[in-house]
């Protein structure tokens, strides 16, 4: 196999290419464009180009070449290679550092040794050469003892030089990423067990949010972005093209959907190719994303069906088990209003026996003019409250794009009633890896509620807890009507734990304790109630919030009650203190 590289014998590009083709014949080229030309003209069957370094970033000549080299489909990307890059400074036999007045190397290599050069040879002249190994060749040919080269250690043997000092790179973890390519496409079917990557270029219109929309096309489908680079567009000042590397081959269903969406969004898209991802030392093995549920065979039984797990599922959140024999109490304010308020509430509910802390950082409100929550600041305050009390935190996430942010701070993500059928959010929450509290929509049937849970389960997340929070009926004396029928029936139909939310069902704090106990009697495995230090002055949902004393009394009654239904789902005697 003849393989073209940018550089000569002893170059890092040669070492990288030999990881794929150990017995290759090297075709030396001065410029990255010459590598592509050599393969196109048949002087080489394959090529190897450096594209990125962990210290200095992008190899811009390669990026500028990609569009023209691979955009027409006549060359084919084949493999990603990551090579540890360790530099040595070398000169003629007997050379000493104090004699060196000029150092030659490729500019990228000089940049990777900048700190060492500044400390050891602050006054030398740095000369950019066309290649690291080429600089060693020049030093050997010119036989000047005041000249030295920076390149790979094995180049010293190749050109008869002496290593003056080894491992002079600024960071010992230094690596360069290479892409190899061939003139002929790989034959045979794609082995789906081998991780792949895809590289593409996207041009976007100059409108707000266009790049974000492209990124969202990947994120919404669980496609992991591994690299993003921008380069100025030639002949059009202050416009740019964006290079993306993503996990997966272009034939993967999730990535294929994302690419179709981007093609509809962008002014232009070029798929450079799909290729084998690096498999060697330091490779990050990502869990393969499952095929989208609508492209999979439908299971014989829904994943939520009790027959899947007749004994019932226990969901663990921190140290709390939801779905066991002990009723779980989740308490806290409707919304996080201030540091003092959330810390005071967290300490009070913890002292009264709460297992978890609830609190809204982002709040869905009927009127856009009402308090919408503190946002990211509220998440940080919830995390602070967890640190002080040990209570795991559950808080609502309102949009799929906010899932990573909320998941960073919360122990459990709540999907509120208004979002129960926000399918993009359900899928994103399913991929978050965090337990999910799924509230029933105010107008949703039990079947719709359970199939909303199926969206999360089918995304690979088994940790779903259902929450009945009241449905809308003709009755207006209360905010909603707590559907105890649903609690009892859902306990029979699903293995997932079920909670009751008496606060949102009632809207009237005086009946919240009675509804909480009724929910447990109907089979709920816990309750989530709103608690505020001063309910009459709460910024949201004060009418349905308990004060600290009322909550303490309710918690004491719950802790005095016997389990109302075992995990098997069969009825049991009810005892309420």
**What is residue 100's three-state secondary structure?**
coil
Residue 205 CA to chain centroid, in angstroms? 26
526 pairs with which residues across the strands?
328
Burial of 344 (0-12, 13-18, 19+ CB in 10 A): middle
**Nearest to 554, CA basis, from 369, 331, 371:** 331
Cβ atoms of residues 163 and 92 within 8 Å: no
Burial of 294 (0-12, 13-18, 19+ CB in 10 A): exposed
Neighbouring C-alpha atoms within 13 Å toward the C-beta of 274? 17
Phi, psi of 303, rounded to the nearest 5 degrees: -65, -25
Q: Is position 316 annotated as part of the catalytic site?
A: no
C-alpha–C-alpha distance, residues 461 and 304, integer Å: 12
- For 330, which DSSP code? E
467 pairs with which residues across the strands?
439, 499
**Nearest to 340, CA basis, from 509, 534, 530:** 534
What residue has token string 């399913």?
430
**Nearest to 482, CA basis, from 423, 413, 544:** 544
CA-based radius of gyration for the chain:
31
C-alpha–C-alpha distance, residues 96 and 129, integer Å: 21
Retrieve residue 360's tokens: 């809204």
Which candidate in 8, 26, 62, 176 is catalytic?
176
**What is residue 356's three-state secondary structure?**
strand
C-alpha–C-alpha distance, residues 157 and 161, integer Å: 6
Which candidate in 12, 70, 178, 181 is catalytic?
178
Cβ atoms of residues 342 and 359 within 8 Å: yes
Pairing of strands 268-276, 196-203: antiparallel
Q: Is position 218 annotated as part of the catalytic site?
A: no
**Nearest to 498, CA basis, from 522, 467, 529, 476:** 467
**What is residue 165's three-state secondary structure?**
strand
Instruction: Work out the angle between the directed axes of helices 548-559 and 512-521 (0-180°, nearest 10).
Output: 20
Give the helix, strand, coil percentages of the chain, each rounded to 5: 35, 25, 40
C-alpha–C-alpha distance, residues 77 and 391, integer Å: 51
**Nearest to 229, CA basis, from 76, 52, 107, 404:** 52
> Hey, which residues are catalytic here?
176, 178
């Amino acid at each position: 196999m003849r393989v073209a590289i940018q550089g000569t014998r002893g170059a890092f590009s040669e070492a990288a290419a030999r990881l794929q083709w150990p017995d290759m014949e090297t075709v030396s080229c001065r410029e990255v464009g010459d590598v592509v030309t050599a393969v196109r003209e048949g002087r080489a069957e394959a090529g190897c180009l450096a594209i990125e370094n962990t210290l200095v970033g992008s190899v811009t000549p390669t990026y500028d070449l990609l569009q023209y080299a691979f955009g027409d489909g006549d060359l084919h990307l084949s493999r990603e290679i990551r090579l540890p890059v360790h530099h040595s400074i070398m000169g003629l036999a007997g050379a000493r550092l104090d004699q060196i007045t000029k150092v030659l190397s490729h500019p990228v290599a000089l940049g990777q040794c900048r700190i060492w050069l500044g400390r050891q040879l602050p006054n030398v002249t740095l000369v950019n050469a066309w290649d690291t190994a080429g600089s060693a060749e020049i030093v050997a040919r010119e036989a000047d003892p005041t000249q030295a080269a920076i390149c790979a250690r094995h180049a010293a043997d190749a050109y008869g030089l002496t290593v003056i000092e080894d491992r002079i790179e600024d960071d010992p973890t230094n690596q360069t990423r290479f892409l190899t390519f061939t003139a002929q496409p790989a034959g045979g079917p794609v082995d789906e067990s081998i991780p792949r990557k895809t590289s593409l270029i996207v041009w976007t219109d100059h409108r707000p949010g266009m790049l974000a929309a492209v990124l969202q096309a990947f994120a919404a489908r669980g496609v992991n972005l591994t690299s993003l680079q921008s380069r100025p567009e030639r002949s059009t000042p202050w416009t740019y093209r964006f290079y993306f590397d993503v996990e997966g081959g272009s034939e993967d269903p999730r990535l294929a959907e994302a690419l179709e969406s981007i093609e509809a969004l962008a002014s232009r898209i070029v798929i450079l190719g799909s290729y084998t991802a690096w498999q060697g030392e330091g490779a990050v093995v990502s869990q393969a994303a499952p095929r989208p549920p609508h492209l999979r065979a439908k299971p014989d039984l829904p994943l939520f069906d009790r027959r899947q797990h007749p004994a019932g599922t226990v969901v663990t959140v921190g140290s709390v088990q939801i779905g066991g024999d002990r009723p779980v109490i989740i308490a806290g304010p409707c919304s996080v209003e201030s540091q003092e308020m959330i810390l005071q509430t967290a300490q009070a509910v913890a002292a009264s026996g709460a297992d978890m802390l609830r609190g809204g950082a982002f709040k869905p409100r009927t009127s856009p003019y009402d308090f919408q929550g503190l946002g990211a600041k509220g998440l940080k305050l919830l995390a602070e409250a967890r640190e002080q009390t040990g209570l795991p935190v559950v808080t609502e996430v309102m949009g799929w794009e906010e899932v990573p942010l909320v998941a960073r701070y919360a122990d459990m993500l709540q999907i509120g009633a208004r979002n129960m059928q926000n399918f993009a959010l359900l899928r994103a929450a399913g991929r978050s890896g965090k337990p999910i509290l799924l509230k029933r929509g105010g107008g949703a049937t039990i079947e719709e509620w359970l199939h909303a849970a199926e969206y999360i389960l089918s995304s690979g997340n088994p940790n779903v807890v259902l929450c009945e929070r009241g449905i809308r009926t003709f009755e207006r004396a209360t905010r909603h009507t707590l559907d105890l029928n649903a609690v009892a029936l859902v306990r029979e139909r699903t293995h997932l734990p079920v909670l009751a939310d008496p606060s949102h069902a009632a809207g009237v704090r005086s009946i919240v304790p009675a509804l909480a106990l009724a929910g447990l009697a109907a089979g709920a495995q816990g309750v989530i109630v709103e608690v505020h230090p001063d309910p009459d002055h709460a910024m949201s949902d004060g009418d349905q919030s308990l004060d600290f004393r009322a909550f303490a009394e309710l918690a004491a009654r719950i802790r005095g009650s016997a389990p109302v239904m075992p995990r098997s789902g069969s009825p049991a005697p009810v005892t309420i203190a």
